[in-house]
Structure 1
Amino acid sequence: MKILVLQAHPNMSKSILNKRFSKELEGKNNIKVRNLYALYPNWEIDAEKEQKELLEADRVVFQFPFYWYNMTPLLKKYFDDIFLYGFAYGVEGDKLKGKEFVIATTAGGPDHAYQPGEYNNFSMGEFLRPMQQTAKLAGMEFRKAFIVNDAVRIGQENDPEKLTELATHFIQHITDPYLDPIAKLKKLNDEIKEKGGIN
């Protein structure tokens, strides 16, 4: 599986979590990383190049910090410039059909703050619905998101063991061949058969 990671952090050098995740990506043969803010400091995105990168990938991971209940500004522009009619949707716009769409995001608040009636009033799943619908419109397969809550506290504590643990989980998640629930079910069925069925 060819994995494309599109990083969209406005200030990666000062990040704690996302920078640690980025380091974990180094040297992985099946993973290609593109840091959008580094590639396009003037926000002039090369649409042809980015579309080519998408076409070569089996799974696309969008890695970004959760800003104002949304993706970061350059990532929004990326979707505007790249997911075009005739490419990602509309007549003959099936170029991304079947590719996997994975979100990897960090949110400043704790998990309990993203619940009905709490500080942010909605769940992270609800906040990510627009991206889920974007994937659906493009014919992509929306997979389980990797979400780290409480990023502000984690960053302030800067605990090496905790950061390593989270970075390991990040890599395991975005490379997991069984993010596809059908593939996961098939794997479980195969394991049951190998053990002689359910007793």
Structure 2
Amino acid sequence: MKTLVIVAHPNMEESRINKRFMEEIKKQPKVTVHELYKEYEDEKIDVEREQQLLLDNDRIVLQFPFYWYSTPSLIKKWQDTVLTYGWAYGPNGNKLNGKEFVLAVSTGGPQNSYLAGGYNNYTLSELLRPLQATSNLIGTTYLTPYVFYGAVVASDDEIEKGAKAYVAHVLNPELDPKAALRNLTKK
């Protein structure tokens, strides 16, 4: 399975989590790592190139730090520019149908701050709904996100373990529950 990892961190040099995760995933075969902020410092997105990257891969991973209950701004611009009507959705907008879509998110706060009624009032799953809805609209299969909580206070050891867990998660061929079920019935 060919995997495209779209990394969006506006200050990668100062990142501890996303930088380490990106270093780890780059070691894997059949993985293309694409850094949006490095590629588009001027924010002028090459739509044809981006669409071709999406077409060339089976699984699309969006890796980003969770800022203000959302993605970094360049992901939103990328969505608006690349996932166009008539290409990704709408009449004849079926180019991504059947591909897999997974999020890899790091949060500053601990996991218990993302509980219904907790510090942030909502679960992370609820806060990620717009991206899940986008996945649905463009015809991709939304897979269980990988989340690294507590980035602000994470130790080097926790980051190392997190990097290994991140790679195992986003490259897991059975992350798609339908694929896992098919494999179970073959045994």
TM score, norm. by length of structure 2: 0.97
Cα deviation, residue 18, structure 1: 0.7
Deviation digits for residues 130-151 of structure 1, max 9, x if unmatched? 0000010101100000011111
Between the aligned partners of 1:187 and 1:165, the Cα distance in structure 2 is 28
Which of 164, 167, 170 matches 1:174? 170
Matched, 1:165 2:161: yes
Cα deviation, residue 185, structure 1: 1.8
Report what 1:195 is aligned to. Answer: none
Structure 2 unaligned residues grouped into runs of 5+: none
SS at match of 1:187: helix
Asked if the contact 2:87–2:95 (Cα under 8 Å) also holds between the matched residues in 1, the reply is yes
Report what 1:62 is aligned to. Answer: 62
AA of the residue aligned to 1:16: R
SS at match of 2:54: helix
Cα deviation, residue 89, structure 1: 0.5
Cα deviation, residue 28, structure 1: 1.9
Identity across aligned pairs (percent)?
Answer: 44
Between the aligned partners of 2:27 and 2:167, the Cα distance in structure 1 is 12
Deviation digits for residues 96-142 of structure 1, max 9, x if unmatched? 00000100000111111111211100000000000000010101100
23-32 or 182-191: which moved more?
A: 182-191
Between the aligned partners of 1:79 and 1:152, the Cα distance in structure 2 is 28
Structure 1 segments of 4+ aligned residues over 4 angstroms from their partners: none
Q: Calculate the aligned-residue CA RMSD, in Å.
A: 1.0
Between the aligned partners of 1:72 and 1:49, the Cα distance in structure 2 is 21
Between the aligned partners of 1:141 and 1:75, the Cα distance in structure 2 is 19
Between the aligned partners of 1:106 and 1:136, the Cα distance in structure 2 is 22
Report what 2:33 is aligned to. Answer: 33
SS at match of 1:183: helix
Cα deviation, residue 77, structure 1: 0.3
Matched, 1:45 2:42: no
Cα deviation, residue 164, structure 1: 1.7
Between the aligned partners of 2:59 and 2:133, the Cα distance in structure 1 is 17
TM score, norm. by length of structure 1: 0.91
Report what 1:114 is aligned to. Answer: 114
SS at match of 1:103: strand
AA of the residue aligned to 2:91: V
Q: Of the two, which has the highest radius of gyration?
A: 1
